[in-house]
């Protein structure tokens, strides 16, 4: 009996231990399961589902696996549930805010302005052709003495140029002197004799005047009655001796040019305007002239004539500008830089800064800011230009913001040609498809 009781006690102890061990094992297993479940839940929160990888510069180029673009920039992962999980439109460029700041991107709104075109041309100064005089005696003779003997010499009106001897001139003087004295002696004679002598005196006087003998010299000749061997020729105008062919002792023939004198109080500027700009230049247009010799001065004039012919060698048309020349600072032969103001063709039109236009030679592109960080390249049709702005006839509306700084960097870094090449094409149906 005692032995049986001991056996029963042992079985109960074993059962209790077994039950305790099972409870402990169960509790341990349950805790482990809970820890595993919690860990799994936390892991699920951290590891979001990647839909695809997007081009870092916003191009419509995606990849299902991580990759880098030709510039070595890693593609950006797009996770499930992100607001911008859809790819950018094929004709738009996306750039992150951080990238915009690094590139120094700056935008400006297109606005309505009146464009006044400035036509620039190179030119040269020439004497006013209406103020150039030639000294050419109308009789044959010899240069006895020179008073003005250097090219470039400044002379005044009436200043002696040279003395001449001419047998014809001496003969004409004697003829006039005799006729003048005869007319004086025949004052009391019959009218017929007086008329004949008067006609002879008038004929001799007209001959001297036609040879450009001055009134003072004719009056002195009539008073003295003596013909002078030499006669002094004087300058008819004030100016500068541009050319001198007279030499002391030389013989000259009627009509031979001995001096050329130019009045430089006013000069002409001949500007060579390119063929494509000549339609903008009209007579009366304001002109600004600058000369390297006087960098701090600006000379103002006006267009007086547009020549009707074009130089085939340079494809330019000459435009004449008249300038006053006080102090004679402007020298014939000087080169000039000319700015001509052309009137605006329209009162106002949509304009953008010149820096906003990317000109490839075949097309002109402007980057328009569609949203913050999104830019759309648009082909534009341009009109008149000023120094800072250009008229946009088509492609941009008033008020739209365009990129005016770092647009060439955007072009380079975003492979703009790919975006431009996709103009008019639909976006890929499957955004996860790689290229």
* Interval 121-147: pLDDT, tens: 999 999 999 999 999 998 899 999 999
Which of the pair, 210 or 33, is modelled with greater confidence? Answer: 210
Whole-prediction pTM value?
0.57
Distance between CA atoms of residues 240 and 392, nearest Å: 52
The CATH number given to 266-342 is 2.40.30.170
Residue 217 pLDDT class (50, 70, 90 cuts): confident
Distance between CA atoms of residues 37 and 31, nearest Å: 10
- Give strand ranges (E) for 207-249: 230-234, 239-244
User: Could you tell me which of 389, 388, 318 has the C-alpha nearest to residue 121?
Assistant: 318
Residue 89 pLDDT class (50, 70, 90 cuts): low
Which of the pair, 315 or 81, is modelled with greater confidence? Answer: 315
Tell me: pLDDT of 64 over 70.
yes
Most confident segment among 288-292, 342-346, 410-414: 288-292
Q: What is the pLDDT of residue 78?
A: 76
User: pLDDT averaged over the chain?
Assistant: 78
Which tens digits make up the pLDDT trace of 279-302?
Answer: 889 899 899 999 999 999 999 999
Long-range contacts of 379-387 (CB under 8 A, 24+ apart): 379/423, 382/357, 383/115, 383/345, 383/349, 384/115, 384/117, 384/344, 384/345, 385/115, 385/117, 385/354, 386/115, 386/116, 386/117, 386/118, 387/118
Q: What is the pLDDT of residue 315?
A: 94
Q: What is the pLDDT of residue 82?
A: 55
Q: What is the pLDDT of residue 90?
A: 55
Q: Are 65 and 53 in contact (CB under 8 A)?
A: yes
Sign of CA dihedral 137, 138, 143, 147: negative
Residue bearing tokens 């009056």: 219
Query: Stretch 412-431: mean pLDDT, rounded?
Result: 48
The CATH number given to 96-115+347-413 is 2.40.420.20
Q: What is the pLDDT of residue 59?
A: 65
Residue 256 pLDDT class (50, 70, 90 cuts): very high
Which tens digits make up the pLDDT trace of 95-109?
Answer: 777 777 877 888 999
């Amino acid at each position: 009996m005692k032995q049986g009781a001991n056996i029963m006690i042992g079985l109960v102890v074993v059962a209790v231990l077994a039950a305790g061990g099972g409870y402990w094992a169960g509790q341990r297993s349950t805790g482990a399961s809970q820890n595993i479940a919690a860990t799994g839940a936390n892991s699920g929160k951290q590891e979001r589902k990647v839909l695809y990888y997007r081009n870092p510069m916003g191009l419509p180029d995606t990849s299902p696996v991580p990759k880098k673009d030709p510039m070595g920039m890693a593609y950006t992962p797009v996770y499930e549930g992100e607001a911008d999980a859809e790819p950018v439109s094929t004709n738009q460029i996306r750039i992150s805010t951080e990238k915009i700041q690094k590139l120094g991107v700056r935008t400006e709104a297109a606005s309505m302005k009146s464009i006044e075109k400035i036509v620039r041309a190179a030119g040269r100064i020439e004497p006013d052709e209406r103020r150039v005089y030639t000294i050419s005696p109308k009789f044959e003779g010899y240069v006895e003495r020179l008073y003005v003997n250097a090219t470039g010499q400044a002379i005044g009106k009436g200043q002696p140029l040279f003395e001449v001897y001419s047998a014809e001139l001496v003969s004409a003087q004697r003829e006039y002197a005799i006729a003048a004295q005869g007319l004086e002696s025949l004052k009391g004679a019959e009218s017929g004799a007086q008329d004949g002598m008067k006609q002879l005196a008038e004929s001799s006087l007209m001959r001297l005047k036609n040879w450009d003998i001055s009134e003072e010299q004719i009056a002195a000749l009539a008073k003295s009655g003596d013909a002078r061997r030499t006669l002094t020729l004087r300058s008819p105008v004030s100016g500068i001796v541009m050319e001198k062919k007279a030499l002391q002792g030389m013989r000259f023939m009627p009509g031979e040019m001995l001096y050329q004198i130019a009045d430089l109080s006013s000069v002409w500027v001949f500007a060579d305007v390119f063929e494509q700009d000549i339609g903008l230049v009209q007579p009366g247009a304001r002109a600004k002239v600058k000369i390297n010799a006087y960098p701090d001065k600006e000379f103002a004039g006006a267009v007086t004539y547009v020549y009707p012919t074009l130089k085939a060698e340079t494809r330019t048309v000459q435009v004449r500008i008249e300038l006053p020349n006080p102090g004679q600072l402007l020298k014939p032969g000087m080169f000039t830089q000319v700015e001509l103001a052309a009137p605006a063709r329209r009162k106002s039109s949509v304009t953008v800064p010149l820096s906003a236009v990317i000109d490839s030679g075949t097309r002109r592109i402007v980057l328009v800011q569609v949203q913050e960080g999104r830019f759309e390249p648009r082909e534009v049709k341009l009109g008149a230009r000023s120094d800072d702005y250009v008229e946009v006839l088509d492609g941009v509306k008033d008020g739209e913001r365009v990129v005016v700084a770092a647009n060439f960097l955007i072009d380079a870094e975003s492979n703009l040609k790919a975006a431009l090449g996709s103009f008019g094409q639909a976006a890929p149906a499957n955004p996860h498809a790689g290229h």
